[in-house]
């Protein structure tokens, strides 16, 4: 079994997550070759580039010295939840740190979304402990959002009859309640809500009409606006449930650029994602779930070599073929 949660001897914070090194690209290509056998079309990591808002975002400075040493913001221990006959989570342990994208992967039905629902307060686990930012995490979803937990859903959830702007304003309310600063741009908190929302919409690459009803948006924009809403809430930890699924390659690549930039500004990101090339390219640490259990935790290199992980994915798809 791989990994003990350390960054594999890498000097902490010395490599920004959004800098793709030649070794990183090589690893991406290897991973893509391996995972192609699973039948998924991977992203082109060579085309890794900033999202469209980068040029106009004053805070986008990839070499900026504001990147600080990662600190643990989330620690989950022994999380279990049963639905009738299905043990959806069994003693799950997970950690996330600021300034890093932490991956949560696993085959369909492994319990990934259930884990997020337990963290965000939509489900109550049967057992387990969640410590967030130094204190136990409990209460209703809104309370957890005010603690600094932002999330998106596997199927985007917006108020469809409200305008895009109104959806974003809800997020801004959360930020004011919490008093948290915007990790990725501390000046945003001083702006009026509408201006703040418009800036964040631009940063995530939303180019549509802010006054349009959210229900009328094409799918890619739904994902983008949902991400903007989460960011409007000034999250300290951002949880994304398959954010690239349903996006075309171009949109997904921009999404990757945005995520790595946000992490490089110090945000903690927890990412559920099916696309292995994307996960391997972005994440410092990966936790692999299968049938509700953690079967591996470690760096991308460690988990992709892990026998149990290979079996959980490739073994199963080979059996299907």
| One residue of 42, 106, 148, 150 binding ligand ADP per CB under 6 A | 106
Of the candidates 2, 98, 102, 113, which one interacts with ligand ADP according to CB under 6 A? 113
Span interacting with Mg ion, options 7-15, 21-29, 64-72, 111-119, rule CB under 5 A: 111-119
Q: How many residues does the chain have?
A: 321
Residue 132 near residue 147, CB atoms below 8 Å: yes
Rounded CA separation 172/230 (Å): 9
Closest to 28 in 3D by CA, of 261, 275, 292, 214:
275
| Cα gap 95→109, rounded to integer Å | 21
How many positions of this chain bind ligand ADP (CB under 6 A)? 11
Angle between the 193-203 and 164-178 helix axes, to the nearest 10 degrees? Answer: 110
Instruction: Look at residue 264 and give the partner it binds from ligand ADP, Mg ion, none, a contact being a CB closer than 5 to 8 Å depending on partner kind.
Output: none
With CA atoms as reference, report the closest residue to 251 among 271, 222, 214, 229: 222
Distance between CA 49 and CA 60 in Å, rounded?
13
Instruction: Identify which of residues 7 and 314 has a Cβ nearer to ligand ADP in the complex.
Output: 314
Among 234, 51, 79, CA closest to 149: 234
109 belongs to the binding site for ligand ADP (CB under 6 A): yes
E strand or H helix that includes residue 101: strand 101-105
Say how far apart CA 187 and CA 180 lie, in whole Å: 12
Cβ 281 vs Cβ 20: under 8 Å: yes
Of the candidates 167, 168, 104, 117, the one whose C-alpha atom is nearest the C-alpha of residue 144 is 117
Contact segment (CB under 5 A) with Mg ion among 33-41, 149-157, 184-192, 217-225 equals 149-157
Helix axes 219-232, 193-203, angle to 10 degrees: 130
In angstroms, the Cα distances linking 35 to 29, 39, 197, 279 are: 10, 7, 38, 12
Task: Give the residue with the Cβ less far from Mg ion, 40 or 163.
Answer: 40
Q: Does 124 bind ligand ADP (CB under 6 A)?
A: no
Q: How far is the CB of 202 from ligand ADP (least distance, A)?
A: 31
Which partner, ligand ADP, Mg ion, none, binds residue 13 by CB below 5 to 8 Å per kind?
Answer: none
Q: Which residue has the tokens 């180019």?
A: 207
In 3D space, the residue among 287, 279, 288, 286 whose CA is nearest the CA of residue 259 turns out to be 279
Instruction: Dig out the tokens for 227 from the structure.
Output: 């991400």
Selection from ligand ADP, Mg ion, none that 109 binds (CB < 5 to 8 A by kind) is: ligand ADP
Q: Looking at 113, 120, 236, 297, which residue binds Mg ion (CB under 5 A)?
A: 113
Residue 114 touches Mg ion, criterion: CB under 5 A: no
Beta bridge mates, 127 = 80
88 binds, among ligand ADP, Mg ion, none (CB under 5 to 8 A by kind): ligand ADP
Taking the complex as a whole, how short is the minimal distance between the CB of residue 38 and ligand ADP, in angstroms?
A: 15
Binding segment toward ligand ADP, per CB under 6 A, in 4-12, 29-37, 83-91, 144-152: 83-91
110 touches, from Mg ion, ligand ADP, none (C-beta below 5 to 8 Å by class): ligand ADP
Smaller CB separation from Mg ion, 170 or 219: 219
Q: How far is the CB of 77 from ligand ADP (least distance, A)?
A: 19
Interaction of residue 111 with ligand ADP, rule CB under 6 A: yes
Closer to ligand ADP by Cβ: residue 107 or 213: 107
- Say how many residues touch Mg ion, by CB under 5 A: 3
Q: Which stretch binds ligand ADP (CB under 6 A): 31-39, 80-88, 180-188, 200-208?
A: 80-88
Return the residue of 27, 112, 146, 254 that touches ligand ADP, per CB under 6 A.
112
Residues engaged in binding ligand ADP (CB under 6 A)? 83, 86, 88, 106, 108-114
């Amino acid at each position: 079994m791989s990994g003990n949660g350390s960054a594999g001897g890498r000097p902490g914070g010395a490599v920004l997550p959004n800098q793709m090194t030649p070794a990183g690209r090589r690893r991406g290509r290897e991973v893509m070759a391996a995972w192609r056998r699973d039948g998924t079309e991977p992203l082109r990591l060579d085309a890794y580039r900033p999202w469209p808002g980068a040029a106009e975002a004053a805070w986008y400075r990839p070499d900026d010295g504001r990147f600080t040493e990662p600190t643990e913001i989330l620690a989950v221990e022994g999380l279990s939840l049963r639905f009738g006959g299905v043990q959806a989570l069994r003693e799950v342990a997970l950690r996330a740190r600021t300034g890093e994208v932490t991956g949560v992967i696993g085959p369909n039905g492994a319990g990934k979304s259930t884990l997020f629902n337990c963290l965000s307060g939509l489900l109550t686990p049967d057992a387990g402990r969640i410590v967030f930012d130094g204190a136990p995490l409990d209460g209703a979803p809104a309370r957890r959002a005010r603690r600094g937990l932002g999330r998106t859903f596997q199927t985007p959830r917006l108020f469809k009859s409200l305008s895009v702007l109104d959806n974003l304003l809800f997020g801004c309310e959360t930020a004011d309640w919490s008093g948290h600063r915007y990790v990725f741009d501390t000046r945003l908190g001083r702006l009026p809500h509408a201006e703040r929302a418009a800036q964040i919409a631009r940063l995530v690459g939303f180019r549509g009409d802010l006054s349009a009803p959210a229900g009328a948006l094409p799918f890619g924009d739904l994902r983008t606006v949902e991400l903007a809403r989460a960011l409007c809430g000034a999250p300290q930890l951002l949880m994304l449930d398959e954010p690239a699924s349903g996006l075309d390659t171009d949109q997904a690549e921009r999404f990757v650029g945005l995520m790595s930039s946000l992490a490089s500004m110090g945000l903690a990101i927890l990412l559920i994602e099916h696309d292995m090339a994307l996960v391997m390219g972005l994440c410092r640490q990966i936790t692999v779930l299968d049938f509700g259990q953690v079967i591996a935790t470690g760096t991308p290199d460690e988990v992709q070599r892990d026998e149990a992980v290979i079996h959980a994915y490739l073994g199963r798809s080979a059996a299907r073929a």
